[in-house]
Amino acid sequence: MLKLLLKDVAIYGAANAFSKVFGIILIPLYISYLSKTEYGTLDGLLIFASFLLPTIIFGQDSSIARYYLEVKDPQERRKMVTESFVFQFCIGLVLTAVTLFVSSWIAEVYFNKKGIEVYIRLAVLSIFANWLLQFCANLLKWTFQRWKYILLTTIGPLVVMLITILLFRLTPYRIEGVLIAQIIGYSIFGLLGMWFIRKELTLIRRLKWLPGLLAFGWPYWLIMLLPTLLPSFDRYLVMNHISHESLAIYALAFRLASLIQLPIFGFQTAWGPYVYATHADGANPAIYNSVLKGYVILLLIFGLLVKIFENKLVLLFSDSTYLTAAPLIAVILLAFLVESISWITGIGIDLSKKTWLSAVAYGMSTLLGGFITWFLVLEFELWGLVFGGLISKGIFTIIKSIMAQKVHPLPFELGKVVLFVILGATMLLSFNKVVAADIWIRLLYALVLVIVMLVIARYMLLNVAEKNKVLLTWRALIKK
């Protein structure tokens, strides 16, 4: 089963990597054609629009994932999927119509900027098209139609990128060009996805499955909605208390830090099916603890690699006017890592089916984290923003992990993992304080840190069985 997890991590990770890489590749294009103010405004639009997507989905992706394999009758499966699709479609239509109607108010209150109503409307329409694509991709994932999933999630973003380039070069469109390209690309591949899943849909006469799907899914709606509140609130704080240009700096740092989300999203995509399958088969839960340790070690090393080349990354994707974004990357990167740990340590909540606890964890961390971030932004501007985000993610992961252990205890060695993450984070954040700008010195120092990190993991993090497994794997690799 562990091999199955690694296989799916590779497949889904590659698909998500393509999707994210295309988004990152677009950064130089955006910066070439957009001013700092325009780029900051575009980032605010994309984050605001992403806030709407969880409400359209309303946790139904998780509901279908949880019940699809339990329903053995193929016709009943089709009815369940169709009821969920119709519900989401109706919610999407209503939410889109309301947002379009109040776009002027949103422009003035949230963006602190008039004359961008058209951009807001286009952003909302792009999210509705994106929902259709996401619905099809999720169903393909949970039915293990891997190659169709890869087609939608890799070729789709590529087409969006190509359309964006054409609109930039052939038309005077700038911000609206980005949004129109998304509407066209998402719509095309959303319709293709509907063709792929056509056999999973059927005519329905009554809503048999929907009440149960909603009862299971509404906590996941909050789970998906609440994490979008802080990014939306972050942008609101920057646009209203700093400037749209500063938002451009933060947006670039955020996008480059999202490089660490490539392995994270690949892992998360495969983690759910793997846990449910191994749990159903009665596998030893101690394997989840080993997965957690390996995950933390690998991601901290990956984060260190990103840290080495942060200045080069900024100059590769932008110009010297954006260099102030470089030191922000490491803090945002750590926030992503800390939050992603909760997907492993909080799995007990999913196994216990008490999904509302995740919503409680998100709610508590959002309120407390939002207040901390607001205070830090007023005092320290962008540095306050990134450290506020890191603190918020830490609060969430701690709360969710504790709740999960209460309702479904699993043999995680959380104390060792927390200590290891703190040590790794300290190494990462202190990098610029002790290392010169010369790339070779940075590489040498990073190598020393990696060795230190692995030694600490060897003697502090791994137990005897895990050490032996690593040793046997290493010997097998050498022999090959």
Predicted pLDDT of residue 477: 39
Task: Say yes or no to pLDDT of 474 above 60.
Answer: no
User: What's the mean per-residue pLDDT of the chain?
Assistant: 84
Pick the more confident residue, 355 or 183: 183
Contact predicate 315/281, CB 8 Å: no
Distance CA 5, CA 364 (A): 32
Task: Say yes or no to pLDDT of 267 above 80.
Answer: no
Mean predicted confidence (pLDDT) in 253-264: 80
pLDDT band at 7 (very low <50, low <70, confident <90, very high): low
**In one letter, which amino acid is 335?**
A
Q: Give the lowest-confidence range in 247-261, 277-291, 401-415.
A: 277-291
Radius of gyration of the chain (CA): 22
Predicted pLDDT of residue 133: 93
Q: Each residue of 136-167: pLDDT tens digit? A: 988 888 777 878 888 888 888 889 989 999 99
Predicted pLDDT of residue 51: 84
Predicted pLDDT of residue 480: 44
Contact predicate 15/149, CB 8 Å: yes
Distance CA 425, CA 480 (A): 34
Task: Say yes or no to pLDDT of 5 above 60.
Answer: no
Q: Give the lowest-confidence range in 67-71, 166-170, 432-436.
A: 432-436
Predicted pLDDT of residue 266: 67
Predicted pLDDT of residue 356: 77
pLDDT band at 301 (very low <50, low <70, confident <90, very high): confident
Compute, in degrees rounded to 10, the torsion defined by CA atoms 227, 230, 231, 237.
170
- pLDDT > 70 fraction of the chain, expressed in percent and rounded: 88
Distance CA 63, CA 77 (A): 12
pLDDT band at 344 (very low <50, low <70, confident <90, very high): confident
Contact predicate 273/61, CB 8 Å: no
Distance CA 203, CA 371 (A): 48
Predicted pLDDT of residue 478: 45
Nearest in space to 102 (alpha carbons), one of 123, 83, 117, 87:
117
DSSP 459: I
Distance CA 250, CA 322 (A): 9
Distance CA 233, CA 439 (A): 36
Nearest in space to 310 (alpha carbons), one of 447, 426, 429, 392:
429
Distance CA 202, CA 210 (A): 14
Predicted pLDDT of residue 436: 59
Q: Each residue of 47-91: pLDDT tens digit? A: 888 888 999 998 888 888 777 777 778 888 888 889 999 999 999
User: For residue 211, what are its two tokens?
Assistant: 């009440």
pLDDT band at 283 (very low <50, low <70, confident <90, very high): low
Predicted pLDDT of residue 469: 65
Distance CA 281, CA 288 (A): 14
- pLDDT > 90 fraction of the chain, expressed in percent and rounded: 29
Distance CA 155, CA 55 (A): 26
Contact predicate 461/416, CB 8 Å: yes
Predicted pLDDT of residue 93: 94
Mean predicted confidence (pLDDT) in 345-353: 83
Mean predicted confidence (pLDDT) in 316-343: 89
Q: Give the lowest-confidence range in 12-16, 67-71, 93-97, 168-172.
A: 12-16
Return the H-helix or E-strand segment holding 278: helix 261-280
Mean predicted confidence (pLDDT) in 203-231: 82
